[in-house]
Every structure is written in structure tokens, then in C-alpha cells.
Amino acid sequence: MIQARLGHPFLGFGVGLRGMHMQYVLEQNPAVDWFEVISENFMDSGGLPRYRLNQIAERYPVAMHGVSLSIASTDPLNLEYLKKLKRLAAEIGALWVSDHLCWTGVAGINTHDLLPIPFNERSLAHVVGRIRMVQEFLERPLVLENPSSYITFTDSTMKEWEFISRMAEEADCGLLLDVNNVYVSGINHDFDPVEYIESVPHNRVIQFHLAGHTNCRTHLIDTHDGPVIERVLELYRHAYRLTGGASTSIEWDARIPAFPVVHAEVVKARDYLNAKPTSRVAEPPEIGEPGAFALSNPMNFLVPDPVGS
């Protein structure tokens, strides 16, 4: 019998830490349950961002979330990257280390995007093998997130949730269930997000992600630039109950507002868990014009910001 959350603690309702908020956090000590930090922001930093992270990690529980592991790439695993990842996790006492089920590049290139793979037996064997290697190196279970995606491959032979479930079981890893991503991909790929949520192995869900997205009418883009919509909160509540509860964090990566606004968003999600179910809650207006361009996975918040610091 597998322990719920693979034995990881329930941290409560946290915030994805962004550089522009670090000074505020250190000065104001906001009542946040925990912080999720972007691994690549700090693994090479010898300056103010890393100094501030060390201080924050002394005051709050932290987990690490990466964007460059590229677990599904066919390039060899980057040993130098893994060494830095392991060192950072040890130095800040990260409770777990997560990344995405994706590849970020091949042939030595890092596109800095979270690119999808076909869901078939060969991809599964490839990814499971690499997760095992990473876990052995890091000496801890890896936690992998379902990314949002905009394409499907004709080469896929199984549903995304079947792939993720088998991956988690066969590699014995944890899951970071991004509920917004399930919703976004569900719209983009014409699947039922509830079926997805109900199908993943709930005892392996260590963490939830929530975020905003942009409605471009023909598809949704995972822009992380606004509040979480009601339908995603409904899905979250469903997932939360199925899993028995898992640590939750909010991601806000573009048009980032002041820290209290971001924090309020995860508090809203927490309160939503206990709110009476409503039959039809009015949807907040979604933005985006037909054919409008919206940027998925914005990354400019990962560039060190000496001016804003």
C-alpha cells in the first residue's frame, strides 16, 4: 500500500516565489504556508536572489520546481545540471523536487519551452527509464507535472492520463497535478478533464498547481497571467477530495501583480474547497480575441532583474 503523497507532508497553500516578491516576503513575513521556487533561478546564482532565497528557506518550507530537466528528451541527461539541482535541494532543504513531463530541446538546444511527447509504449519506456536514473542520482523521488499542451501526436496510442498513471507507477515517482493544465489541455484536445482527474493515481499526487490562462476562442493558452477561473477551481476541489488533499501552490508568471494579490489567489482556492457547491457559477470574463497571440509558459521572470531587485 503506497502512502498518500508518497509520505510527503501536507504543506498547505503556497505561492510560486518570484524574484520581484522576494524583498517583500523578507520584509513583511506574510502568512504563507510554503513557497515553491524555480530551481533554475537559483542553481547558478551567487548573488542577491540566492542570498534572499537562503533567508526565505530558513523561514518557510520550500519545494523546488524546475523547467529544464527535459526528462523526455532523447539527449543524454545533463549530469552537471543534476549535480547543481541536487546541491541546491540539499542547501535549501527542499522538501521535494519537481519538473515537467516534457522535453525542452534536443541536439544540445534548450528551447525553454515545455514540449509534449507522443503517449505510446516507446515514449513511456524512455521516460520511465530516465526518471529512474534521475531518482537514483538525486536520491529522492522525482515529482513530475502534467504540462499544458497544444498538439497531439498521431503516434499516441494511449490517453495522457493513462500515460501519466503508468509512468508514475512504473517509475515510482510523484505527481504534481496542475489542474489548470488539465483544463487547458482538455479544451485543446477535446477530452474530459474530470475523467483525467479521476483517472490519475491519487495517492501519488504530492502537489497541485493552479494558475490563470487565456481563452483564444479556438484554444486555451497557459499564460499564467491572471486569476484562476471558476471551472478550474471546481476541478481542483474535485481533485483535492479524491486525493485526500495535497499541498497547493499558485503560479503567476506574467503581468505579475503585488504579492498580496498572488497570495490572495491561493487563499481563494483554499476557501473554495469549503464553499458550498454551486450549480452554475458565473464564469469570470476570459480574455483573448480570435487569432490573438498569447504567450504560453512565459519565462522572462526567470531572467535576473537587477533593476527591480
- Interface residues with another protein (CB under 8 A) are 40, 43-51, 68, 73-74, 78, 81, 103, 105-113, 115, 117-118, 122-123, 126, 150-156, 188-190, 218-219, 221, 293, 295-300, 302-307, 309
With respect to another protein, which residue has the nearer C-beta, 145 or 253?
Answer: 253
Q: What gap in Å lies between CA 23 and CA 19, rounded to an integer?
A: 8
- To another protein, the closest distance from the beta carbon of 221 in angstroms equals 7
- To another protein, the closest distance from the beta carbon of 308 in angstroms equals 9
- To another protein, the closest distance from the beta carbon of 283 in angstroms equals 19
* Phi, psi torsion values for 99, nearest 5 degrees: -155, -160
- To another protein, the closest distance from the beta carbon of 156 in angstroms equals 8
- To another protein, the closest distance from the beta carbon of 151 in angstroms equals 5
- To another protein, the closest distance from the beta carbon of 39 in angstroms equals 9
With respect to another protein, which residue has the nearer C-beta, 31 or 293?
Answer: 293
With respect to another protein, which residue has the nearer C-beta, 245 or 298?
Answer: 298
CA distances from 179 to 14, 53, 108, 185, 207 (A): 15, 27, 31, 10, 10
Least Cα distance to 256 among 210, 221, 298 occurs for 298
Partner residues linked to 138 by β-bridges: none
With respect to another protein, which residue has the nearer C-beta, 38 or 143?
Answer: 38
With respect to another protein, which residue has the nearer C-beta, 25 or 246?
Answer: 25
Q: Are 135 and 171 in contact (CB under 8 A)?
A: yes
Secondary structure (H, E, C), 31-56:
CCCCEEEEHHHHCCCCCHHHHHHHHH
Q: What is the largest CA-CA distance in the chain?
A: 52
Q: What gap in Å lies between CA 66 and CA 61, rounded to an integer?
A: 17
With respect to another protein, which residue has the nearer C-beta, 165 or 297?
Answer: 297
Count CB atoms within 10 A of the CB of residue 173: 24
